[in-house]
Amino acid sequence: MSFIEKARRAQIVKCAIETIAEVGYTQASLGEIAKRAKISKGVISYHFASKDELLEQICIEYYIAWQSYISPRLEAQKSPKEMLRVYIESNLAFVAENRQHFFAVLELVSKNITAGGELQLSADHDEAVLVPIENILAQGVQEGLFRKFTKSSARVMALTIRNAIDGFTMELIRKPHLDVQEYTRELVTIFDISTKN
Partner DNA sequence: TTATTTTTTGTACGATTGTACTAAAATAAA
Partner DNA sequence: TTTATTTTAGTACAATCGTACAAAAAATAA
| Choices 26-34, 78-86, 92-100, 163-171 (CB under 7 A): range interacting with DNA | 26-34
Task: With CA atoms as reference, report the closest residue to 90 among 187, 195, 176.
Answer: 187
Q: What does the binding site for its own copies look like in residue numbers (CB under 8 A)?
A: 23-27, 107, 110-111, 113-116, 119, 122-123, 126, 152-153, 156-157, 159-160, 162-164, 166-168, 170-171, 173-174, 179, 182-183, 186-187, 189-191, 193-194
As a whole number of angstroms, the distance between CA 22 and CA 28 comes to: 9
Of 122, 131, 192, which Cα lies nearest the Cα of 162?
131
Tell me 181's DSSP state. Answer: H
* 2 is a contact residue toward DNA (CB under 7 A): yes
| CB of 8 or CB of 101, closer to DNA | 8
Select the span of 22-30, 117-125, 170-178, 188-196 touching DNA (CB under 7 A). 22-30
- Burial class (CB within 10 angstroms; exposed 0-12, middle 13-18, buried 19+) of 76: exposed
41 binds DNA (CB under 7 A): yes
Q: What is the DSSP string of 99-134?
A: HHHHHHHHHHHHHHHHTSTTHHHHHHHHHHHHHHHH
Q: 30, 106, 137, 154: which one contacts DNA (CB under 7 A)?
A: 30
Interaction site with DNA (CB under 7 A): 2-5, 8, 27-32, 39-43, 45-47, 50-52
